[in-house]
Amino acid sequence: MPVGTNGTMKAVSNNFIEELRVNLILSNAYHLYLRPGMEIIKNAGGLHRFMNWSHNILTDSGGFQIFSLAPFRKIKDEGVRFRSHIDGAYHFLTPSDVIEIQTTIGSDIMMPLDVCTPFGISEKEALKALEITTAWARESRKKWQEGEVNRFLFGIIQGNFFPHLRKQSAEQLIDLDLPGYAIGGLSVGEGFEVFSDMLSLTRQYIPYDKPLYVMGIGTPQFILKAVELGVDMFDCVFPTRIARNALAFTHSGNLNLRLEKNKFDNGPIDAACSCYTCQNYSRSYLRHLFKAKEINGAVLTTQHNLFFIEQLMNSIRKSIEEDKFNIFMTNFLNQYSSGVA
């Protein structure tokens, strides 16, 4: 899912996203609640109309964003009090409030309020966060069942990096029989091996007939590992964020377009890529745009990175259909890790 946190994908148009045949994007309820606010979105007839997007929208509840505001928030059993990063005003939201906000937004897939925890906390802290997350999921489910049947609520499995707590969280949420599930609390500072082990452990407790979403991963290595373990959905700001900072995906690793070696390179970002940027612009020109601080450098590189990730996903699907995924993953990662971009 390309990420449009504030109701827009940064540096690209909706038309471009549609041309990639993407029909599900992510926006963030926390950010939209603060700005432009529910009154404006409601007046526009929901986020789809407000941002002129006719396809599906998944909204994150904002649990991770509130987690990142640790010095400015207080978690209670009934909800969370936090200070806005925009104007410093204090807000208090319950799990029911968050479902109501996403209903106003018109989200096709809603995420419940949860307690996201950092790497390295104690088991006692992780257990408390898990218990609150489960209680909030139950309250969210009750509120969701009062609304429109064509909106879907996913549960978010927590438990930090304690295997028995992951199992406990998964089993409690599976009992709620929600339309889909997300694995939260990963990609929060742990290494790749720890990520892989915890994802593998958590995955075994989730029924395979439910869509499974891993939150916050957007690099080829992490995506391929997650797919290998049976994950269906991903989101991350990484592909677009690094593009705005002159870093481009290639099949041979990531390329820093600002480097001196690109000064006279008239070749594309990636000779194996058929995106608009690679077909029409050189590394030399893109380096010039970033050096000159021209906004089109960010636009063209963002288009390339999103195209690259979508083509990776298309190749993954094809390899699964042909029962060749493991071969594809090995070959892709061997080239990608070569570091010769």
Active-site residue numbers? 60, 235
Angle, CA of 68, 72 and 77, to the nearest 5°: 85
Ranges of H-type helices in 11-108: 14-19, 29-34, 38-44, 47-51, 63-68, 95-105
Q: What is the DSSP letter of 320?
A: H
Q: What is the DSSP string of 108-172?
A: SEE--------TT--HHHHHHHHHHHHHHHHHHHHHHHTS-TTSEEEEEE--TT-HHHHHHHHHH
- The label of the residue with tokens 């928030």 reads 73
SS3 185: coil
157 by Cβ neighbours in 10 Å (0-12 / 13-18 / 19+) ranks as buried
Greatest Cα pair distance, the chain, in angstroms, is 62
Residues 6+ apart with CB under 8 A from 330: none
- The identity of residue 130, as a single letter, is L
Q: Cβ atoms within 10 A of the Cβ of 115, count? A: 23
Residues 6+ apart with CB under 8 A from 48: 54, 57, 106
